[in-house]
Chains A and B, each alone.
Chain A
Amino acid sequence: MSDNQSLKTTGAPSLEELRAASMLTTLADLEEKACLCIECVEEIPCNPCETSCPQNALTVGSPITNLPVIDREKCILCGLCIPACPGLAITIKSVDGDMARIRFPWEYLPLPVKGQKVEMVDRQGQVVCPGVVIAAINPARNNRTAVVTAEFSKEFVENVISIRRNHEIL
């Protein structure tokens, strides 16, 4: 288990720290099948992901400080856990041909719109590549955590975690 040096000095986990917590999804993994990605590497008492999953594919168990374990056979990638996670640590990534997609939580205004050109960012908020919004939904059951889908070139899929936030807000 890593000491989470990157997490505790830069604010975000490094790829190594994710790998050490069994939470790194590689391009190779995604070329095989789409994956749920949970970047939860610290033990805090928290289990809404487990309770949100209709397929019982997420296990936290007892004590509730356990990191969630994904049963990839059961996971149908419905994405209900994405807005359920209070830490906004869950995304779904997929690869199709040369392109990758990420479904991620979003709690800022403006809500991106389908077709919008965006900039994909890494865990430090640095822009890595351009992207396009495929969908952006914010149903009532999400309790105000919107879920956005963006598409970008697949070679960046391990580093991409979100889109760049627009500072100029209404």
Chain B
Amino acid sequence: METERKPAIVVGAGPAGLCAAIELKKAGAPVILMDENSKPGGQLFKQIHKFFGSREHKAGTRGFEIGKELLTESLNLGIDVRLKTEVVGIESGLKVWAVENRNRSYTIEASKLILATGATENALSFPGWTLPGVMTAGCAQTLINVHRVLPGKRVLMIGSGNVGVIVAYQLMQAGAEVVAVVEALPKLGGYGVHTAKVARAGVPFRCATTILRAEGKESVERAIIAKIDSRFQPIPGTEETLEVDTICLAVGLTPSIELACIAGCKEIYIPELGGNMPGHDRYMRSSDESIYVVGDIAGVEEASTAMEEGRLAGIHAAYAMGYLDEATMKARTEETVQRLSSLRQGVFGQKRFAAKQRILEKGAAQ
């Protein structure tokens, strides 16, 4: 096969994008990695807890350490990393529009496109939700772990999925007090080991509970919570006032699919993985063979699955561009798929596995 001269462009330098770019560069393929932020790493650098999985998944290593390893590898490989570069458009023929530093735009033709744009946190609206002091859990995490500032001292966490309980723990490590973790469903969502760490710090978990409103003059001064019934309606008489200055919302993530839509990738609706997302095949190709989707944009899971999906796409794109022979591509794809599958096991993982199976069965090109 003729080797492609036009570069593969990877959009998003989080764990998925970094791994994709590394595979491409290792195979000798021309690749450009773009990210709108001034620092790469996506959400990985905010993860200060030790990861699960096995040794090959870097279990026991803290998220930000994995991020540093990936960055070092990409620097050592000499990958063309363009930060402060926003991709704002994609035309057919894979012409990518980029805006650099918010003041210079250019187009560049790509042979392959790998979209690794991640996901956006959901909002939950209630009276008072716009007050200073109400923010997403990820916002609080960014402030405490990246910028090293505390947004407040007394926090109410809404949502008990892994993001909520991990950030609750990290807020305590940063010196804040978490007054309660509130969960709308009758059972907690996060891993038991994560909730146990928070519980033993004396933080109460309140299931079947919601926030009614936030109150305060110029910023949050208190939150009113209440129990809810099986139809999520507040039960009169169960209102409780919590004195807090910060309310964090950890109510789910939705894939950031704008670029995939612009590029015409066909979508599939998978509620367990965040809603609408571009479908993909086992090589992470979308309905457009030249466009791959990896990481949270292809379904919200974890950093470890994002890295493996990035590798899958990088390996296949390198092959499709003529830089990797078929036998090597197949062997490396197989071992990566094995590692991915082992991450999608167990009481939490199997739901994600089933959801991903639905994507693969439906096929990308519907």
Contacts and interface: CB of A to CB of B under 8 A. Distances in A.
User: A and B bound?
Assistant: yes
Contact of A42 (B197, B345, B346): B346
A125 B347 contact: no
Nearest to B49: A86
Contacts, number: 142
Contact of A44 (B49, B55, B346): B346
Interface stretch (B94-102, B202-210, B212-220, B234-242): B202-210
B346 A169 contact: no
A93 B60 CA distance: 23
B308 to A, nearest CB: 12
Contacts of A40: 193
B202 A46 contact: no
Interface string A53-89: 0000000000111000000000000000000111111
Interface string A1-14: 00010011111110
A116 interface: no
Contact of A65 (B49, B60, B200, B349): B349
Contact of B201 (A63, A87, A89, A165): A165
B266 interface: no
Nearest to B160: A11
A123 B347 CA distance: 22
Given A48-B60, A123-B199, A143-B50, A107 B173 contact: yes
Interface in B180-214: 181, 186-188, 191-203, 205, 207
Nearest to B187: A8
B356 to A, nearest CB: 15
B203 A42 contact: no
Nearest to A60: B54
A8 B188 contact: yes
A46 B191 CA distance: 12
B329 interface: no
Contacts of B60: 48, 51-52, 84, 86, 143
B202 A165 contact: yes
B27 interface: no
Contacts of B205: 9-11
B155 to A, nearest CB: 12
B342 interface: yes
A161 interface: yes
Interface bin, chain B? 35 or more
Contact of B202 (A39, A84, A121): A121
B24 interface: no
A124 B191 CA distance: 16
A94 B203 CA distance: 27
B52 interface: yes
Interface bin, chain A? 35 or more
A44 B200 contact: no
A41 interface: yes
A64 B54 contact: yes
B343 A42 contact: no
Given A12-B195, A125-B200, A86 B52 contact: yes
B195 A63 contact: no
Contacts of B59: 46-48, 51, 86
B275 interface: no
Contacts of B200: 12, 121-125, 161-162
A4 B192 contact: yes
A85 B349 CA distance: 19
Contacts of B269: none
A45 interface: yes
Contacts of B61: 143
Contacts of A122: 200
A51 B55 contact: yes
B53 A45 contact: yes
B202 A87 contact: no
Contacts of B55: 47-48, 51
Interface of A: 4, 7-13, 39-48, 51-52, 63-65, 84-89, 107-109, 121-126, 143-145, 161-162, 164-165, 167, 169-170
Given A64-B342, A88-B197, 8 more contacts: A11-B203, A13-B196, A44-B52, A63-B345, A64-B345, A87-B193, A121-B200, A165-B202
8 smallest CB-CB distances across A and B, nearest first, come from A87-B193, A125-B202, A11-B199, A11-B195, A86-B50, A65-B346, A169-B175, A12-B199
19 contacts: A9-B186, A11-B188, A42-B347, A43-B346, A44-B52, A44-B349, A45-B54, A45-B57, A45-B342, A47-B53, A47-B54, A47-B55, A48-B60, A63-B346, A64-B345, A65-B347, A86-B193, A87-B193, A145-B50
